[in-house]
Amino acid sequence: MTPPATTPAYRRLSVEERRRQLLDTALSLFAHRAPEDVSLDDVAEAAGVSRPLVYRYFPGGKQQLYEAALGSAAEELQQCFDEPRQGALVPRLARALDRYLTFVDEHDAGFSALLQGGSVVETSRTTAIVDGVRRAAAEHILSHLGVTDPGPRLRMTVRMWITAVEAASLIWLDEDKQPPADELRDWLVEQFVAVLTVTAGRDPQTAALVAALSTDG
């Protein structure tokens, strides 16, 4: 007699695991569709749960879920540039970009949703979430440079480069992740050194940094 097939035991998720599941599901949906086109029913169906369960975790509805999903991605992304301030700058920056591009690679949908969030949803909170990632990255870079009081030209140069990194990452996703991540990383590091060099021609503070970089071992 053939024994009956066994059904895998259902594992009840913890509160944190369920919340993480809902956030990941929502972020993926928001990455591919405008937030106004995503309903809580869509999130519940994609996560395999009921609509009331989604409301239990996010009583504020879709806006609260959207902001929480963006905030979750933002927190992880902000850590990418948190590299120990030891050794030469260029290798440190390369390691930070390795983590950044790994995040982009593993969370491509979430990355797209994060960067698009400030423009497709007109609320001060979502705009602040996106801008917070950029400002945190800029502070990390300036700290790597050993600068505590950056002038306007240096600060603008760093923030412009971060914007370029974001744009390159989105294009990289559109281009089926070509060139390879390590090539993109090296290219972005070279661009950073290049834009610093250009700014150095107009700003003594940046010129001193570039001179230090030239002897940085």
pLDDT tens for 136-184 read 999 999 998 889 899 999 999 999 999 999 999 999 998 999 999 999 9
Report the amino acid identity of residue 125: R
Give the mean model confidence (pLDDT) for residues 26-43: 81
* pLDDT at residue number 116: 63
DSSP-derived 3-state class of residue 147: coil
> How far is residue 51's CA from residue 216's CA, in Å, rounded to a whole number?
56
Please name which of 153, 126, 133, 15 lies closest in space to residue 62, comparing C-alpha atoms. Answer: 126
Q: Would you say 115 and 130 are in contact if contact means Cβ atoms under 8 Å apart?
A: yes
How far apart are the two ends of the chain, measured CA to CA in Å? 74
CB-side neighbour CA atoms (13 Å) of 133: 26
Give the mean model confidence (pLDDT) for residues 35-44: 86
> How far is residue 25's CA from residue 48's CA, in Å, rounded to a whole number?
10
pLDDT at residue 210 greater than cutoff 80? yes
If one counts every other C-beta atom within 10 angstroms of the C-beta of residue 100, the result is 22
Q: Would you say 111 and 103 are in contact if contact means Cβ atoms under 8 Å apart?
A: yes
Give the pTM: 0.77
User: DSSP secondary structure string, 70-136?
Assistant: HHHHHHHHHGGG---S-S-HHHHHHHHHHHHHHHHHHTHHHHHHHHHHHHHS--HHHHHHHHHHHHH
> How far is residue 162's CA from residue 171's CA, in Å, rounded to a whole number?
14
* pLDDT at residue number 125: 75
